[in-house]
Structure 1
Amino acid sequence: MKQILPSPFQRKILIAISGGIAAYKICEVISTLAKAGAEVRAILTDSAQQFITPLTIATLCRHHAYTDADFWQPTHGRPLHIQLGEWAELVVIAPITANTLAKIATGMADNLLTNTILASSCPVLLVPAMNRQMWQQNIVQQNWQNVLSHERFHGMATVAGILACDLPLKEREDWQVGSGRMAEPKQILAHIESLLHTGGKRDLVGKRVLVSAGGTREHLDPVRFIGNPSTGKMGLAVAQAAIHRGATVMFVHAPIKTELLTLLPDEVEGVSVTSAEQMRQAMLERFSQADITVMVAAVGDVQPAQYYDYKLSKGDLPTAIPLKQCADILAELGKIKQPPQFLVGFAAQTGEILTPALQKLEAKNLDIIVANPVDQVNAGFGSDTNTATLMNKRGKQVDFVGCSKLKLAHHLFDFIEIDN
């Protein structure tokens, strides 16, 4: 059964902004959501308006931006915080400051934002930003953990980086940059997409998920190699989906652009490799720790039989390059898999994709295979969207056409949950 999926953002999203310099980052989030077809409403606290204006946010939302001035006005219908709380399918508080965090942790309701939180029942995504000393205070961390212990609240970790309150550049010698910086807009958008799909469930809490990504490179000399066009986007999406559902993730990747790697939180164990053999070693070292392994990487099938440790001149390049087989990592993992470990493979195919994918599913002792038609437009290597057929060893098959790679990753974990 084929499913053509709409934009993941065509939902009702309430953005709440509290007072911090990071408030400027939320403009990109709101603009992207609105362009993608979301209904976006926004609340600004009084302190948020010291950094960004309601006019700016209203223009990006294509709707009036609410403030406490609206909250304290008499209404001719139901109270504003009740209306907004019931309307929203997801609330995002970004940035959330130490002050707003403390209010939510203690159940206070003294402004429109906090009243709306108490009047809602949908998932709430908290995106903190503050000075590193403030963020590291025991009482702030206690409030953070207290809020996140409640099922409907989801948190994004702060990231390391230069903060607006940091020391001048000339005073930073031997000074370690710490956490406190708000997550970037692309990270926030990915988490929003995940929560809209899952409804906030954390079905992978306590699970360790091992993901491989990217395309390996088999070098002839230091500058030439046999490779493939894989960018690592699909593997990255699988890692993000697992994290957003509560898993601990181990991420083994071939060369991937740094800007993509920054989409993963700092606490993810990332292992960088280049060749198929290096990936094999990294995967084998971690496989026994994994409850679920998703082998997304496009691993080389062959490598030059001889490696030259210096750059060959153009005249010295061989007219024919003898090749030898690379190790079949997925088959090796399938042989050593122990119950209840779960193993997923990807089959990048052209033409008729199902028959070779099913053969791979059986031959390599997989639980699920993802058949991926890489010769189709906006599917496979390098694209932001994907088309795939998910198949398990009991013959169940589901097709997804033209969805985001993160959405496909969530459908994969839904498929795993059903299969288990």
Structure 2
Amino acid sequence: MLKSKSVLIGIGGGIAAYKVCEVISSLFQAGAKVRVILTETGQQFITPLTVSTLSRHQAYTDADFWQANHSRPLHIALGEEADLFLIAPLTANTLGKLTHGLADNLLTNTVLASRCPILLAPAMNTEMWEQPVIRRNWQQLTQNSRYHSIGPGSGLLACDRVGSGRMAEPAEIITQLQSLAHTQGQQDFNGKRILISGGGTREHLDPVRFLGNPSTGKMALALAQAASDRGGIVTLVHGPIAPELLPISPNYQLISVVSADQMEAVMMSHFVESEIIIMSAAVADVKPAYYTNHKLPKKELPTDLKLESVTDILAKLGSLKKADQILIGFAAQTGDIINPALDKLKRKKLDLIVANPIDKPDSGFGTDTNQAIFIKADGQQQPIKSCSKLELAHQLLDFVNLEKLRRRNIKL
């Protein structure tokens, strides 16, 4: 999603500057064109040599800004070239300057000379972050639609205090930049309530053994991230997900469940208020007919396991769906993926379905990439080539926007 994008990074003066080195390296490896501005105080924490080595390009400082040896003013050239602008760590000093339109160094002048989306990753001591003047500046600046924020989170700070003010982690910053690269900062789902299910359910025979599937929840996490990045009020109801996959500071609500019955209960409690519902969870179709609340000895395990059906959550939602709601399902298939998906689309009264091959390389359960065919209720299809799950999530939301536009035109 960042390949060939021109990403400009402004590094402020804070110990969190060391984290930006990983961001620069990751962006370069993703194929982005990376340019870096180091403020005077930023150079106290990392050197221009470090930055230029990681970005494979000269690091720009105030010394370059005040020299008249450029064919065009440096701040103008950098600002016009940028597709995305990251400021990390954003210090209290730079925050104050940006809020009031002040420009006395290369970084702040370049901000005023650019038009691209700007991602702000603040980092400072908890006492500083919680000062009324800082909160006022932050609220005022982020009301500007050009500025987008990530963090700060909470944790152990360099001052040995545990509290808010910790800069977002590099992986989180990269994900946010990927979303901005796709949307250019458009908040086209602003205020929309979006309900998403994800991961696999577990149907237990006893406290240790269960029927399950290989779903990791990565696709649902990508959907939740994409929808919240576009302004949605997102609730993600998920089965067991490995802790390392969960976001550190999510900008959406996470509700953890285990069984299909638990997922059904939570989905139903949030269904009525939701405008868009995306059922990407791999819900079990059956469960053991009997549950034992203690671990069964091996010799007592049934050789003929009796099963019973669980509630078809998606079909139940389809039967209750109102005209102003959009209900989306996933069909994970092997072999022919279209005909089973069309059948599921009609039977469960869906508006859209994602036909997803799980027998192809780098697609389906547990992978970081995916491919699919989006199918609408009217039969319209859109194939999606292999891409990151975040990119597929954004393309699905684009598809949803087309459906919303179609409905609006019908009403007109």
Superposed pair shares fold, TM > 0.5: yes
Encode CA deviations 1:336-394: one digit per residue, 9 max, x unaligned.
11231111111101100001111111111111100100111000000000001111112
Is the 1:8–1:407 Cα contact (8 Å) retained in structure 2? no
- Unaligned 5+ segments in structure 1 are 1-6, 168-176
Match 1:316 to one of 300, 318, 336: 300
Encode CA deviations 1:244-272: one digit per residue, 9 max, x unaligned.
1011111111000112112552x522111
Q: Which residue of 1 aligns with 2:244?
A: 259
Q: Which residue of 2 aligns with 1:392?
A: 376
Is the 2:2–2:27 Cα contact (8 Å) retained in structure 1? no
In the alignment, does 2:208 pair up with 1:237?
A: no
Higher relative contact order (CA 8 A, sep 6+): 1
Encode CA deviations 1:151-193: one digit per residue, 9 max, x unaligned.
21111121111111134xxxxxxxxx43211111111110000
TM-score, normalising length: structure 1:
0.94
User: How far did 1:54 drift?
Assistant: 1.0
Is the 1:237–1:409 Cα contact (8 Å) retained in structure 2? yes
Q: Taking structure 1 as reference, are residues 57 and 76 closer, same or farther at Cα in structure 2, changes over 3 Å only?
A: closer
Q: Which residue of 1 aligns with 2:386?
A: 402
Q: Which residue of 2 aligns with 1:205?
A: 190
Taking the aligned partners of 1:163 and 1:316, their CA distance within structure 2 comes to 53
Q: Which residue of 1 aligns with 2:205?
A: 220
Q: Which residue of 2 aligns with 1:35?
A: 29
Q: Which residue of 1 aligns with 2:410?
A: none
Q: Which residue of 1 aligns with 2:273?
A: 289
TM-score, normalising length: structure 2:
0.96
Q: Taking structure 1 as reference, are residues 378 and 345 closer, same or farther at Cα in structure 2, changes over 3 Å only?
A: same
Is the 2:151–2:166 Cα contact (8 Å) retained in structure 1? no
- Unaligned 5+ segments in structure 2 are 405-412
Taking the aligned partners of 1:264 and 1:20, their CA distance within structure 2 comes to 20
Encode CA deviations 1:54-99: one digit per residue, 9 max, x unaligned.
1111111010011111111112411000000000000000111111
Is the 1:45–1:113 Cα contact (8 Å) retained in structure 2? yes
Is the 1:186–1:263 Cα contact (8 Å) retained in structure 2? no
- Which secondary structure state, in structure 1, belongs to the residue aligned with residue 156 of structure 2? coil
Q: Which residue of 2 aligns with 1:280?
A: 264
Encode CA deviations 1:115-156: one digit per residue, 9 max, x unaligned.
000000011111111111111122111111211111211111
Q: Which residue of 2 aligns with 1:98?
A: 92
User: How far did 1:8 drift?
Assistant: 3.6
- Which secondary structure state, in structure 2, belongs to the residue aligned with residue 221 of structure 1? coil
In the alignment, does 2:9 pair up with 1:12?
A: no
Identity %, equivalent residues: 57
Residue identity in the other structure for 1:75: N
Runs of 4 or more above 3 Å deviation: none
Instruction: Give the number of aligned pairs.
Output: 404
In the alignment, does 2:150 pair up with 1:163?
A: no
Is the 1:222–1:308 Cα contact (8 Å) retained in structure 2? yes
